[in-house]
């Protein structure tokens, strides 16, 4: 528990002050976010708002993770220091953040709302996802079963090869889902905070019951989760409406990778869509919009996709959309954690 507190305090502090520094630095450098002209007209006033705030989230989260482990060297907390699973996951988060950073940098340097071309972006994300899956399969005792609340909750073993494909698809889907959700001030960061809170509980619970969950590095995963939570909290202070800075792809892609990575390493793959219901809904709305547009010759299912823009164009104030989506995320996260805890009761796993 001490490690979690150290990680949270460090990540919040560094992200909070780091984001403030980024706002001042990027504003002076006149580095701002281009706004898509076909989006809601109310968003045009946001043009020029500093972006790439995800840097502060990642620096804060990484610092929190390091601080929690370094504290052990001085006799604080447990004896677990820098596990393979934790290092691989943190490496994937930072690497995906780098892909997002390149995308953001191209957008602002060329003063347009298009960054890396689709092919380059996909290659970058796939490369990180494949490397993550291969490293986990080669250097950790990751379970290869398709799982819900525990590695043996369903009992279908995919084998190393199919599990790796599944891991790549889950990482790509979640990274892009968070990226699509990041369209309103504080929406993605607020929803991510709630999801990371859920995964901090799940990972810490698994750490407390190693014989039942068989996740040797669960405590390190809890530290990563709470570090990402803290990074998002510090950032949200400045990103809440009206936002003084955007996270950009640097933050959204890294957050998605972190959530998918936590689901894979805690063996809760199928619990992730429940906890991340808003991220799923945003993605499905885009898929349905494109599908209906193509099938029905230009007709649209929603006023605009992702679905948060639909509600804006329906007359909802931006803050109402954000808060209601946060509430939905809180409910879905609570449902996911509730299912996880209910399963532990059924299995006779006690506190």
Which residues have a Cβ under 8 Å from the Cβ of 94 and sit 6 or more positions away?
Answer: 58, 62, 254
In degrees and rounded to multiples of 5, residue 343 shows phi and psi of: -60, -40
How much of the chain is helix, strand and coil, in % rounded to 5?
A: 70, 0, 25
CB 40 within 8 A of CB 312: yes
> In whole angstroms, what is the distance from residue 345 CA to residue 11 CA?
33
- Selection from 103, 99, 108, 106 nearest residue 26 by Cα: 108
DSSP 120-148: HHHHHHHHHHHHHHHHHHHHS----EE-S
pLDDT in tens, the chain (351 residues): 888 999 999 999 999 999 999 999 988 887 766 655 555 655 656 667 888 999 999 999 999 999 987 776 665 555 556 899 999 999 999 999 999 999 888 877 766 556 677 888 999 999 999 999 999 999 999 999 999 999 999 989 999 999 999 999 999 999 999 999 998 999 999 999 999 999 999 999 999 999 999 999 999 999 999 999 999 999 999 999 999 999 999 999 999 999 999 999 999 999 999 999 999 999 999 999 999 988 888 888 889 989 999 999 999 999 999 999 999 999 999 999 999 999 999 988 876
Structural Rg of the chain based on CA atoms = 20
Distance CA 201, CA 340 (A): 10
- Closest residue by Cα to residue 143 from 171, 175, 167, 169: 167
């Amino acid at each position: 528990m001490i490690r979690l507190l150290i990680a949270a305090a460090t990540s919040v502090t560094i992200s909070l002050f780091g984001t403030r520094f980024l706002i001042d630095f990027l504003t002076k450098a006149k580095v701002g976010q281009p706004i898509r002209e076909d989006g809601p007209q109310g968003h045009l006033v946001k043009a020029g708002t500093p972006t790439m705030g995800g840097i502060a989230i990642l620096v804060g989260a990484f610092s929190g993770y390091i601080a929690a482990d370094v504290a052990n060297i001085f006799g604080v907390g447990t004896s677990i220091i820098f596990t393979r699973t934790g290092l691989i996951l943190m490496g994937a988060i930072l690497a995906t953040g780098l892909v997002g950073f390149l995308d953001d940098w191209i957008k602002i340097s060329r003063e347009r709302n298009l960054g890396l071309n689709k092919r380059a972006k996909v290659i970058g994300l796939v490369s990180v996802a494949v490397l993550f899956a291969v490293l986990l399969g080669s250097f950790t005792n990751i379970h290869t079963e398709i799982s819900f609340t525990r590695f043996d909750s369903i009992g279908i073993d995919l084998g190393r090869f199919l599990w790796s494909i599944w891991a790549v698809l889950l990482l790509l889907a979640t990274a892009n889902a968070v990226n699509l959700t990041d369209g309103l001030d504080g929406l993605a960061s607020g929803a991510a905070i709630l999801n990371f809170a859920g995964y901090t509980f799940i990972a810490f619970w698994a750490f407390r019951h190693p014989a039942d969950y068989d996740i040797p590095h669960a405590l390190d995963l809890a530290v990563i989760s709470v570090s990402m939570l803290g990074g998002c909290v510090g950032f949200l202070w400045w990103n809440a409406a009206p936002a003084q800075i955007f996270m950009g792809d640097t933050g959204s892609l890294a957050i998605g990778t972190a959530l998918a990575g936590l689901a894979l390493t805690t063996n809760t793959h199928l619990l992730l869509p429940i906890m991340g219901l808003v991220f799923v809904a945003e993605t499905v709305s885009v898929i349905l919009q494109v599908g209906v547009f193509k099938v029905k010759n230009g007709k649209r299912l929603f006023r605009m996709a992702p679905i948060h823009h639909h509600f804006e164009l329906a007359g909802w104030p931006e803050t109402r959309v954000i808060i209601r989506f946060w509430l939905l995320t809180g409910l879905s996260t609570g449902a996911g954690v509730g299912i996880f805890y209910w399963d532990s009761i059924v299995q006779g796993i006690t506190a």
